[in-house]
Structure 1
């Protein structure tokens, strides 16, 4: 079993709740990811323009006036040499919410609260495919 399955993977965490953002940063970092964490969609877009991360995890309900769908649309429009994998990590837990997120272009959907290791496993599968 690989103890650092995300070694060298650049992950942008977009989460407006500081405790959750800190937990995700810690868990993904322990898995080897190079983590940048921000609390707003606008900060995420600015970071994504500079970093061009491999993966972005997005809370769909952000408190800065823009939501995860707004952010995804803009991240998808960035000129990037490779596709940026986008994962919705959200408390929106209905099947309709999941369908909307995947239909909007997110590559995966993880409900929270969930085991943070599930997020590591999902990202590992996404970057490996």
Structure 2
């Protein structure tokens, strides 16, 4: 059984490349275009891992991460924050919100695939 991954990002180019890359790795991929849709999809589909953009319309990725961590039913969901916000305070906020990893855009696709594999191992 392949792991289900949710890509939550409001930038179509990033979604397309991440979706292609994750499907190529054998993952079942879902997509959400904003934070509100991301949280609803996480609750309905229970992905094993979420690639979560920090800044999205509706709810930010940080808010989605906090909501997931506050829900005991979703506690096992792995979250990788993918964001252009790279200051130390942003990283601390993402990790403080409960992210399992924090990846700053632009990122190495190979490193991201490797990180996802490690988190799902």
TM-score by length of 1: 0.86
Match of 1:71, SS? helix
Task: Work out the number of aligned pairs and report it.
Answer: 121
Cα RMSD for the two superposed structures: 1.6
Structure 1 match to 2:59: 66
Q: Which moved more, 1:109-118 or 1:8-17?
A: 109-118
Q: Does 1:32 align with 2:26?
A: yes
Pair 1:108 & 2:112 matched: no
Q: How far does residue 74 in structure 1 lie from its aligned partner after superposition?
A: 1.8
Aligned counterparts, 1:44-123, within 5 A:
44-62=38-56, 64-80=57-73, 83-123=76-116
Deviates more, 1:10-19 or 1:79-88: 79-88
Kept after mapping to 2: 8 A contact 1:91/1:111: yes
Structure 2 unaligned regions, length at least 5: none
Structure with bigger helix share is 2
Q: TM-score, normalised by structure 2?
A: 0.91
The alpha carbon displacement at 1:81 in A equals: 7.1
